[in-house]
Structure formats: C-alpha cells, structure tokens
Amino acid sequence: MKIRYLYSTLVKPKLELTLAILKPDISSNPLAVEAVRDIVLKNGFYFIRTKHVKLNRDQAGEFYKEHKGKFFYERLVSFMSSGPINLHVLSKENAIYDWRQLMGPTKVYKAQHEAPESLRARFGLTDTRNACHGSDSSVSALKEIEFFFEDFDVNKWYNEQEHVFRNGNEIVFNEEKLEHEIMQRKLRAFY
C-alpha cells in the first residue's frame, strides 16, 4: 500500500488534449482574442497547436453534422462560416473538463448568472454567438482535433512529447506561433 501511494505521488497523470475554438464573434476582435489567450495561459493550459481558418458552409456543416435537423443547426452553420475562427489544441491534466468549466454554460444568459467569470459570460453575445467551443469527451476531442489538424499525430505527441509537457520544465510559449514548444537544448562542446 505504501509503495503504491509513493508511486502515485511521484508520477503525474498523463495530460489530456482538447479542441478549443474561438468563434467568429470573438475572433474578429484581436483584443478579445488576446484576453482569452491570457486567461487560458493563466489557467495552466498548454497551446499544443494553433490555427486560424475561415470555414466554408460545407466544412461548418460537416463539423456540426451531429446537430443536423435541430432547430439551431442552420443558424450555427451560417455563423461558424461567417468569419475567421481560432483553433487550438490545448493540453493539461483534465483539459476537457477544465476548458468546459472555463468556457461556462452554453447559454450566455445562464453563464452570466451562474459563472460570471467564464468566457461565455464575459465574451458571449447569444446562445449561438457564445464565444467558444470545446470538446465534450476524449472521444470527441480526438475526432475534432483530427478534423481540423489532420497533420497532427496525437499518438506521436503522446509517445514523444507528452512526458516533457507533463514535467513542464523545458516548455516555453512561442508568442509568434501562439504555441508552447519544447526548449532546444544547447550542447556545449568540451575540449
């Protein structure tokens, strides 16, 4: 029993990945994007990948196809294809839950009353224009990350980089790329 306890205190749990989208209503305002990025950083998330895109209607429809037939589907697809969006693969321990807590309730009015410091309470306009999106499970996170970041190999990241990010000592935030990176070690030649 003591050995198991000691082991669990020495080894940090694996980091989790989630997809975060800053919707067109917030992405069109550089000051809001910067404010959200600062909030995300202050809450201990790593930005693993970042991308800025403008979806066409077909892409937005494909991403939100699980909602097809619901009353808000057309409005959501139109909105999500109306302007650029910011996409981020975020990581930290419990990333999915923590990102969803940081976003707040889907409905802006509810967010303003129940979670006034949340992103949706602070930056959301309506239930469709609610500032951000986040994966709701590890299965959807993987699917959503793959949808937008087809060149990002999740398994490779877990095998080669996750342990370095989990340790955190060799990670720096690249302000230009808006991504965290592993510091390049400089090897000194000994003569």
Domain that holds residue 32: 13-51+87-180
Whether 116 is covered by a domain: the verdict is: yes
- Is 133 part of the annotated catalytic residue set? yes
Taking the CB of residue 8, how many other CB atoms lie within 10 A of it? 10
pTM of the model: 0.89
Q: Kindly name the residue from 67, 133, 163, 180 that is annotated as catalytic.
A: 133
Question: pLDDT class for 76, splitting at 50, 70, 90?
Answer: very high
CA–CA dist 161, 163 (Å, integer): 6
130 SS3 class = coil
CA–CA dist 188, 16 (Å, integer): 35
Contact 153, 49 (CB under 8 A): no
CA–CA dist 164, 184 (Å, integer): 12
Whether 30 is covered by a domain: the verdict is: yes
pLDDT in tens, 127-161: 889 999 999 999 999 999 999 999 999 999 999 99
What is the CATH classification number for the domain harbouring 140? 3.30.70.141
Total structural domains within the chain: 1
pLDDT in tens, 89-124: 999 999 999 999 999 999 999 999 999 999 999 999
Mean pLDDT for 15-38 is 97
Whether 119 is covered by a domain: the verdict is: yes
User: What's the pLDDT at 109?
Assistant: 96
